[in-house]
Amino acid sequence: MDTVLGVITLWKVLGAFGLILLLNRLRLNLGLALLIGSAALAVMMGLGPRAAAMAYAKGILDAEVLSLIVAVVFLLVVSRLMSDTGQLERLVTSFQGLIPGARMTSLILPALIGLLPMPGGALFSAPMIQTACERTSAGPELKTALNYWFRHLWEVWWPLYPGVVLAVSLLGVPAWRFILGGLPLTGVIVLGGMILLWPALKEDRPPDARPGTIRERLKDFGREVRPITLVVLAVPAVQVVELVLGWDLPPLSAVFLGLVLCLTEVIRRNRIPWRQVAQALTNKTIPPMVLLILAIMAFRGMLVESRAVQMIQAELTREGIPTLCVILAMPFLSGMVTGIAMGMVGASFPLVVPLIAHLSGLDHAAHAALAYAFGYLGMMLSPVHLCLLVTRDFFGANLLGSYRYLVGPALFFVAGSFLLFGITRLFI
């Protein structure tokens, strides 16, 4: 009991999360719920009005936040134009001509978009899931879970994700070793989604028969997926340019280039007049999404200003909680608090790395992979994860109802992570 009471900062943060979820359950706008939750956290952490205002300002008034907003607006415009012109429907239909059925479509299309280290990128695949599930009885919460879960199956090892790059740097290990440790985790993510999400996805009617040969269907799919392919290719292309020329471009440069190319291709392919592009920019879904992003960043700024993560770390260590628990708890809590891999790694791995520094070879790799896995788990369950929130907003889903579908795959991921950890340690 004393140990439980000793981690008081953890209870404060969890209380703020609980308030956010409750307010959203009562149908308050999620952005407003986040702002109220962050204000409650400021009070619990003893921040005065001036300090709280500074925390909000630091969270919001940042060039990266502006870049994020512009990127998300681009995503909304592109997805709106692809939807209005029928290209999204053609893309899904052409893909189903190759691999029919909503289940495989619900896995592969979000996974394809997941190759892009794009903030809020789940917003790109959400309209595809909407189209793919038209002949199913899937509700908003299931669609949210499918899009969100399968969108992030690469983030445990894919080297284009900044969180992975930072983890490799802090661990001081070769990138290939970290990638090999994370690859099996992707298999666990896919398997968990297939076993626990797919059974709820029942098709009301079979897919329509597709005319033409396989070659013709591949050609159709290639033509419709080209805008997305341009975004995917822009990321490694910009990294190669940076490496060759020694440039240090802003973090979202590749994403912006890809989205500009994508938008240009959508306009060209569908011969869209500029008047229609301007109408897409005034889409009524844009202001609530901008408010949501600002609220997330304000909440994150409050967490940074209050030093909540550092205080939780100190409390766990002071209470004598076992080292392995700290190695797992800190990434998990950091992932929950920040809702982003970079934040999770940056907040927790400076503590985790010294705790496993004395280990060697497979033992070190196993502990590092398990720590990252638990951070990923916290990030995926975080109520401030941008992809979860924008997906929920797109489908009009209930946040707690979406969690009902996510808990099963999350527990499956925990079990799979421990199993892989145990198997790896058998060879030590």
In this structure, what token pair is assigned to residue 142?
Answer: 């299931």
Q: What does the angle CA 377 – CA 379 – CA 380 come to, to the nearest 5 degrees?
A: 65
Residues near 324 by beta carbon (within 8 Å), at least 6 away in sequence: none
Q: Look up residue 7 and give its amino acid.
A: V
Q: What does the angle CA 114 – CA 175 – CA 346 come to, to the nearest 5 degrees?
A: 70
Terminal Cα-to-Cα distance of the chain (whole angstroms): 36
Q: Look up residue 288 and give its amino acid.
A: P
Q: What is the CA radius of gyration of the chain?
A: 22
Q: What does the angle CA 185 – CA 189 – CA 193 come to, to the nearest 5 degrees?
A: 165
What is the spatial distance between Cα 98 and Cα 96, in angstroms, rounded to a whole number?
5
What is the spatial distance between Cα 79 and Cα 88, in angstroms, rounded to a whole number?
8
pTM over 0.75, yes/no: no
Q: How many CA atoms lie within 13 A of 79 on its CB side?
A: 24
Spatial contact of 388 and 148, defined as CB atoms under 8 Å apart: yes
What is the spatial distance between Cα 384 and Cα 393, in angstroms, rounded to a whole number?
13
In this structure, what token pair is assigned to residue 397?
Answer: 């889903």
Residues near 265 by beta carbon (within 8 Å), at least 6 away in sequence: 226, 227, 230
What is the residue-level pLDDT of the chain in tens, covering all 428 positions?
445 445 688 788 878 878 887 887 787 877 888 889 889 989 999 888 888 888 888 888 877 788 878 877 887 788 788 878 888 778 777 877 787 678 888 898 898 888 766 666 788 788 889 888 888 889 999 999 999 999 999 999 887 787 887 888 888 888 888 888 899 999 999 999 999 999 998 876 555 555 667 788 888 888 888 988 887 788 788 878 888 888 877 767 777 888 889 899 999 999 999 899 988 888 777 888 788 778 878 887 887 788 876 787 788 778 777 778 888 988 898 888 778 887 788 778 877 888 888 888 889 999 999 999 999 999 999 988 889 988 998 899 998 999 999 999 999 999 999 999 999 888 76
What is the spatial distance between Cα 133 and Cα 170, in angstroms, rounded to a whole number?
41
What is the spatial distance between Cα 130 and Cα 140, in angstroms, rounded to a whole number?
9
In this structure, what token pair is assigned to residue 65?
Answer: 């936040």
Q: Collapse the DSSP code of 391 into the 3-class scheme (helix H, G, I; strand E, B; otherwise coil) and give the result.
A: helix
